[in-house]
């Protein structure tokens, strides 16, 4: 019985701990479930936004390709046929890129970006810095524009 008494006491302590833990466990589990749900919802929204952005980028690239093809005729007349052919080649390249972009899934694009960063981290950092610089200039220009209009 000596062995039974300590085990029962330990069982009571564990039981009390389990009861306290049991009271906290549903709350913790609910919190975990909510966090997981929030993360899944955020992931789905991010994928939907990325898909929308991909479609918009594809449409913009298609429009750019059409503009380049249209400009090729003008370039033929003004500069020469050889340069018009450059414009047509550029239009074809943009069109092909647009088609490949639209054909890929978001997960494939993310994997491609990861591979690019792994292979060329310096180029990726330089590109990110250049994009950041351009965005900063655009934001600054947007903030300065209203101030300039007030002075006029």
Q: How far apart are CA 68 and CA 59, in angstroms?
A: 14
User: Measured between alpha carbons, how far apart are the two ends of the chain, in Å?
Assistant: 97
How far is the C-alpha of 123 from the C-alpha of 111, rounded, in Å?
Answer: 17
Mean pLDDT is lowest, of 10-14, 100-104, 112-116, 118-122, for 10-14
Could you tell me the sign of the dihedral formed by the alpha carbons of 56, 120, 45, 139, in that order? negative
On the 0-12 / 13-18 / 19+ scale of CB atoms within 10 A, 87 is buried
Q: Look at residue 149 in the predicted model and tell me its pLDDT.
A: 53
Residue 137 has pLDDT above 60, yes or no: yes
Confidence of residue 20 (pLDDT cuts 50, 70, 90): very low
Output the pLDDT for position 150: 52
Q: What is the pLDDT of residue 14?
A: 42
pLDDT at residue 113, as a whole number:
87
Summarised one tens digit per residue, pLDDT across range 61-96 is 899 999 988 888 888 888 888 888 888 898 899 999
pLDDT tens digit string along 21-54? 445 577 888 888 889 998 888 888 888 888 888 8
What percent of the chain is modeled with pLDDT above 70?
78
């Amino acid at each position: 019985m000596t062995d039974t008494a300590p085990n029962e006491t330990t069982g009571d302590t564990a039981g009390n701990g389990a009861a306290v833990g049991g009271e906290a466990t549903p709350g913790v589990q609910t919190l975990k479930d909510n966090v997981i749900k929030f993360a899944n919802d955020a992931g789905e929204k991010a994928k939907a936004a990325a898909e929308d952005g991909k479609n918009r980028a594809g449409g913009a690239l298609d429009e750019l390709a059409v503009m380049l093809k249209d400009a090729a005729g003008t370039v033929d007349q003004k500069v020469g046929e050889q340069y018009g052919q450059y414009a047509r080649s550029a239009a074809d390249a943009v069109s092909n890129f647009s088609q490949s972009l639209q054909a890929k899934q978001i997960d494939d694009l993310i994997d491609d970006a990861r591979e690019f960063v792994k292979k060329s981290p310096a180029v990726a950092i330089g590109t990110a810095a250049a994009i950041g610089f351009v965005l900063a200039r655009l934001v600054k220009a947007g903030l300065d524009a209203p101030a300039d209009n007030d002075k006029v």
